[in-house]
Each structure stands twice: as C-alpha cells, then as structure tokens.
C-alpha cells in the first residue's frame, strides 16, 4: 500500500497573514536572532553567567525582563480570553503591582545579602537543606503543570486561530495547527534559551516588551474605534453584565463594574449587584485573601520572577528593577483584559461579523473565547500591523517560556544535580541544565489535555497556583518576619500543604479531562464531590491556614533555631551594618516611583467602581 507523502500546507482561504505581515514577523525575528547572537558571543561557560547573566544586569533590563516573563502566554491569550468569557474579575490579579514593591523593599535586601542562585537555596540558609529539596521538587512540578504547559497550550491556540488550515499529514495521521504551533514555539524558544542562558532571556525580554506593549495598544485602539469608543464598551458590557457568560451567574444577580450596592433585592424590580472584581467564580473573600497570597508568592518568592533580580550587581539595581517592573505591571488590564471585553462587545453588538460568528454563530466553538486576542488580530487589523501584533503574540509566548526554561534548569542543576554530583565541572552543570529542561518540556506536553479541558486558560493557571503556592508563601513570609520559626516547622508546613494541594489537583484532574465515568463529576454529596466543588480560592485559603498553623505549632514544640546561623536572614537578626547598607541603597527617587505605582492602582479601583 502506498503511503501518502509528508504534507505541510496552509490553504490560502484559511490564512489571514499577508506578505506584509510575514515581512514584519521576519524583521522581528531577525532582531531577536541578532540580540541572541550578540549575547552568545559574550557568554562564558559558567553557572553564574548562564543562570544569572554574570550578576551584571541593569535595572531597566531587570524590570523589562520581569514584566515580559510575567506578561506571556497566560496573559495575551488567557487574560484576553478571560475578559471575553468572565468579564473583569481577573483584573484584580493584574492590579497586584504592589507585590513587586514588597519584593523591592522587603525581600531584595535579604536575597542580595545572601548571594543565592535560587529561592530553595535561600530557604536552606534560613532553615535546612531538606526544605531546599522539597521546595525545588515542588517548584519544578509547578513549572511543568502551569507555566510550561500553559505556554505550550497558548502557542497552539494562536496558531489554531490565525492559521486554522495549517496541517501536517503523516500517512493517515493528521497533526493540526494547534500541535504544530505548540511544538514550533518550543523549538524556537529553546534555541536561544539553551544557547544563551539567562543573559539571552533577559536581553530578548527587553526587546519583546517594546513589541508587546506597542502591538497590544494598537489592537485596543482599533477595537475601540470600531466599537465606538470607551463609553460604548461600558454601555454594552455594563448593561449585559460584566460576568459575561450568563450561565455562570447566580439567578437574580447582576454584575457590573460598580461596587456592591446592595445584597438583597429590597427595591422592587432591582437586582442585587456585585462588584466588578467579584463574580460567582471569584467571590470577594477569595479575592481579598487568596489573590494576595498567590500574588506575593509569585512576585516575591518564585524562582521564575526573582531570578531576574538575582542577576543584579547590587541591592540598589535590584530594587530599581523591581520598581520599574511594578510600573510596567500596571499596563496588562488595559492592554490584554480590555481587548477581551472589546472582542465580546463587538461580537455581541454585531459590529464585527467575523467575531460575532466566531463567538455566537451556529458553529461557534464553546471555547472560542480563549482565542479572543488572536481573533481580534484576525478580524480587526490591516495587513502589516497584523504582522506586528502577531510578532508581539509570539514574543510573549517565547518570553514566558524562555524564562521558565531557564528557571527550571537553574533549579534542577543548582539545587538537585549539583548536590548529587558535587564534583561536577561548570560545563557539566550547564549541559545538565539543558537536558533537564528538555525532559520537563516533554512531560508538559503530556499534561496538555488537562489544560485543554479546563475552564479557561487563565482560570486554570490561577487554580493550580492556588493549590501549590500557599505553603511556599507561608514559609518565606513567616520565616523572614518571625525568627523563632525553625527548620522542623518549615519542613512540615511545606509537606502538609503540598500534600493537600496535590490531593485537590488529583481530585480535579479526571473531572477536568472528562474521563470515562467522570463526565458528570463525582457522586453528589460524597467527600470527593465536596472537595471538587469547593471554590478554588476558598480551598487555597484552607491550605494557607493549615500550613501556617502547622509551621507555628511544630516550631514552638521543638527547639528554637540558632540565631547566629541565620544572622541577616530575618528582620529579627539583621545587624546594624545590614541596616546601614540597605539605607544607603535608596533615596527619594525610589520612594517617589513606588508612590506613583500605588497611586495608579488606587486610581484604577476608584475609576472602575462605577
């Protein structure tokens, strides 16, 4: 029997990119390749250079790299999709720029004094080597099931939306554009990450930020122009409720971007209202407690983010870079979430036939809102500009993946492999980091079906982080602020917290994937049904409280730590010399910049209240 040859085709009827678009994309990748080549020539084959860029990054590179690594696939694809599907509730997470100020003013001094490579290494110095191993392993699991898997999935969504007819045929087996895009993003990102290390990641992030912000701003401008302006957006979405998909809203509840005006329908004919940042999936108590816990864990203790600050030559540069990142972090609500709302408004109002058909047409995919951002690129922008924004999409996907690849290789190599093989050469350590990254990517590919089955990309990400972040938040924050807490308390808090979080993930997985026998969930009223149906934010609060109680109880039931050994690692053991050095590292400029960030956050809350 003859086997059909390998076919790679993109039908012209399904391709939305013109020659001008491809020219813009090619120009972008040429710049990216040039920067990567320059970095590779400067690199030295040492762990300090590969993992921390030789500790000589400038503050603007650190800030841009933190922002670009954070504003990746889960934001461009996930946040815009959340805006089109769930309204503006996720904006609460995006107004967590203040968490970066906590990193700048609270944690940077401790990290820079310790001269560590990784967050688990800092935990070892504060507590014990066992806590380092536990955090390293759990961090790697978190990276695989959240950041890597989400990044790969988002790459597939972009390609499936923009090039739906792109297919790879091997005999009778056909690979669609989703999987082609997923693999292509991995390969392109892996090339410059594995060759250039942290320096390549950081400098390419700085280039990507420009494309990212510019491209998203263009899309917002064109969308508002076609819609009829900001007032029209507010009218359509505000009247049609900002929790946009009605099946998710409790009966008789109206959600706007106004604050809670009343909780009962005391006025005849008037529905009770919820605040814009609350809805049935994101209740006010969860937003008030769970969201800050996840935010502080992510911005202040996650290797993925903090590694950029560790690449600074001194405390002042690290602080300024973190504050600059906080300022950049103010943009996502307007550049990514608002386009999702615009996408919904254009489709709902019928002002864009293509979007209306994609989201509400008779053949619309139930998950079409996940591709809100690329859908707008496809149906709104003219040739040339479309290519620039696609370049921004690709830069976001690659930037977030590049950062997590480097963080993974750093964690595995420095915290695990180097401990197992203490006599390894610098070259061997770098090589092992690259191999470890490749293995974790393959595992993440296997996890993609779980991501695809979840309720929204961004919601999935927040849920997973809500299950795994609380014990890490507890041991870092309690450990820095409370010198009496010891290694035993830290270790038990992490183990107990992680077991509870992993248990919830295991309970959720078969339901999310709709495996045989789980399509309708667990038996109503059973223990597993209760666990599966507790709001993920409430469950995250439970994990946080349990971890905190365990850490304090075990610490006070066992011997106090040797305060001399943890000198400079907690507020209670800081020396006068430490205080003098920290005070000398900042002046009025850092204070003023921090005040501006806080003012913008407060302004956003006040404006969106109605």
pLDDT digits over 468-513, tens only? 999 999 999 999 999 999 999 999 999 999 999 999 988 988 887 7
Place of tokens 């309720």: 455
Res. 249 pLDDT band, cuts 50 70 90? very low
DSSP 275: -
Average pLDDT over residues 2-14: 36
As to burial, measured by CB atoms within 10 angstroms (0-12 exposed, 13-18 middle, 19+ buried), residue 129 is middle
Question: Is the per-residue pLDDT at 605 higher than 60?
Answer: yes
Classify 455 as helix, strand or coil: coil
As to burial, measured by CB atoms within 10 angstroms (0-12 exposed, 13-18 middle, 19+ buried), residue 499 is exposed
Tokens encoding 244 = 């946009």
What is the pLDDT at residue 96? 83
Classify 464 as helix, strand or coil: helix
Place of tokens 């690594």: 69
CA separation for the pair 244, 475 (Å, rounded): 38
CA separation for the pair 64, 301 (Å, rounded): 18
Res. 456 pLDDT band, cuts 50 70 90? low
Length of the chain: 610
What is the pLDDT at residue 5? 36
pLDDT digits over 113-166, tens only? 888 878 888 999 999 989 988 988 888 888 777 777 777 777 777 777 777 767
Question: Is the per-residue pLDDT at 242 higher than 70?
Answer: no
DSSP 274: E
CA separation for the pair 25, 217 (Å, rounded): 17
Q: Which CATH topology does 17-169+187-262+271-607 take?
A: Sodium/glucose cotransporter (1.20.1730)
Q: Which residues pair with 255 in a beta bridge?
A: 274
Q: Average the pLDDT over each of 4-13, 67-76, 151-160, 294-303 and give the range with the smallest value.
A: 4-13
| Cβ neighbours of residue 573 closer than 8 Å, sequence gap 6 or more | 483, 563, 566, 567
pTM of the model: 0.75
As to burial, measured by CB atoms within 10 angstroms (0-12 exposed, 13-18 middle, 19+ buried), residue 18 is middle
pLDDT digits over 184-195, tens only? 776 766 665 655
Place of tokens 């091997």: 170
- β pairing state of 7-9 and 167-170: antiparallel
Among candidate residues 71, 70, 76, 191, the one with its CA nearest the CA of residue 441 = 191
pLDDT digits over 519-548, tens only? 678 888 899 999 988 988 899 999 999 999
* 248 Cα distance to chain centroid: 24
Classify 515 as helix, strand or coil: coil
DSSP 58: -
CA separation for the pair 98, 87 (Å, rounded): 22
Q: Average the pLDDT over each of 174-183, 202-211, 257-266, 579-588 and give the range with the smallest value.
A: 257-266
Place of tokens 């964690």: 411
pLDDT digits over 410-423, tens only? 778 877 888 788 88
Tokens encoding 216 = 């998203």
CA separation for the pair 310, 104 (Å, rounded): 12
Among candidate residues 603, 347, 306, 322, the one with its CA nearest the CA of residue 476 = 306
φ and ψ at residue 351, rounded to 5 degrees:
-75, -10
Average pLDDT over residues 87-92: 61
DSSP 276: T
330, 351, 555 from 221: Cα distances, Å: 18, 15, 55
Percent of the chain with pLDDT over 90: 24
Task: Report the 10 Å Cβ neighbour count for 523.
Answer: 9
| Cβ neighbours of residue 154 closer than 8 Å, sequence gap 6 or more | 72, 73, 74, 76, 77, 78, 397, 457
């Amino acid at each position: 029997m003859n086997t059909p040859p390998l076919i790679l085709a993109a039908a012209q009827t399904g391709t939305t990119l013109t020659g001008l678009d491809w020219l813009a994309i090619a120009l972008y990748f040429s710049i990216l390749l040039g920067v990567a080549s320059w970095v590779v020539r400067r690199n030295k084959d040492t762990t300090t250079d590969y993992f921390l860029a030789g500790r000589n990054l400038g503050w603007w590179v650190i800030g841009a790299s933190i922002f670009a690594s954070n504003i990746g696939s889960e934001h461009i694809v996930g946040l815009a999709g959340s805006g089109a599907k769930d309204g503006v509730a996720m904006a609460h997470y995006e107004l967590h720029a203040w968490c970066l100020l906590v990193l700048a003013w609270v944690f940077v001094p401790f990290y820079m004094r310790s001269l560590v490579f990784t967050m688990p290494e800092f935990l070892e110095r504060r507590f014990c080597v066992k806590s380092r191993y536990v955090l390293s392993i759990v961090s790697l699991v978190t990276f695989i099931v959240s950041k890597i898997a989400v990044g790969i999935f988002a790459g597939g969504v972009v390609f499936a939306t923009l090039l739906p007819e792109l297919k790879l045929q091997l005999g009778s087996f056909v690979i669609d554009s989703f999987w082609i895009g997923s693999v292509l993003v991995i390969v392109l990102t892996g090339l410059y990450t594995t060759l250039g290390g942290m320096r390549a990641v950081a400098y390419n992030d700085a280039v990507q930020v420009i494309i990212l912000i510019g491209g998203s701003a263009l899309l917002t401008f064109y969308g508002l122009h076609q819609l009829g302006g900001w007032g029209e957006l507010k009218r359509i979405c505000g009247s049609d409720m900002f929790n946009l998909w009605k099946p998710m809203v409790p009966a008789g509840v109206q959600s706007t971007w106004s604050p809670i005006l009343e909780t009962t329908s005391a006025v005849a004919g008037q529905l009770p209202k919820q605040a814009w940042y609350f809805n049935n999936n994101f209740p006010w108590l969860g937003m008030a407690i769970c969201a800050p816990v996840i935010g502080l864990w992510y911005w202040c203790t996650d290797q993925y983010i903090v590694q950029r600050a560790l690449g600074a030559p001194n405390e002042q540069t690290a602080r300024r870079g973190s504050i600059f990142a906080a300022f950049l972090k103010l943009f996502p609500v307007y550049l990514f979430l608002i386009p999702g709302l615009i996408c919904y408004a254009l489709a709902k109002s019928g002002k864009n036939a293509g979007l209306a058909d994609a989201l509400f047409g008779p053949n619309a995919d139930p998950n079409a809102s996940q591709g809100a951002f690329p859908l707008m690129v496809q149906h709104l922008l003219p040739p040339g500009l479309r290519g620039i924004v696609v370049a921004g999409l690709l830069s976001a996907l690659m930037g977030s993946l590049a950062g997590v690849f480097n963080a993974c290789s750093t964690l595995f190599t420095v915290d695990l492999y180097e401990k197992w093989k203490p006599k390894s050469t610098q070259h061997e350590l770098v090589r092992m980091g690259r191999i470890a990254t490749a293995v974790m990517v393959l595992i993440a590919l296997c996890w993609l079906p779980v991501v695809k089955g979840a309720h929204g990309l961004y919601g999935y990400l927040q849920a997973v982080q809500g299950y795994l972040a609380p014990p890490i938040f507890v041991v870092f924050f309690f450990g820095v602020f409370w010198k009496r807490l010891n290694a035993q308390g830290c270790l038990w808090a992490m183990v107990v917290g992680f077991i509870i979080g992993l248990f919830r993930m295991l309970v959720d997985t078969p339901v999310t994937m709709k495996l045989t026998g789980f399509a309708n969930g667990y038996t109503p009223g059973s223990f597993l049904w209760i666990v599966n149906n507790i709001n993920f934010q409430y469950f995250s609060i439970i994990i946080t409280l349990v971890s905190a109680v365990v850490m304090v109880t075990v610490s006070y039931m066992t011997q106090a730590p040797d305060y001399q050994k943890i000198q400079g690692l907690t507020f209670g053991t800081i020396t006068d010399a430490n205080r003098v050095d920290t005070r000398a590292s900042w002046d009025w400029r850092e204070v003023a910049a921090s005040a501006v960030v806080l003012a913008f956050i407060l302004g956003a809350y006040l404006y969106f209240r109605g």
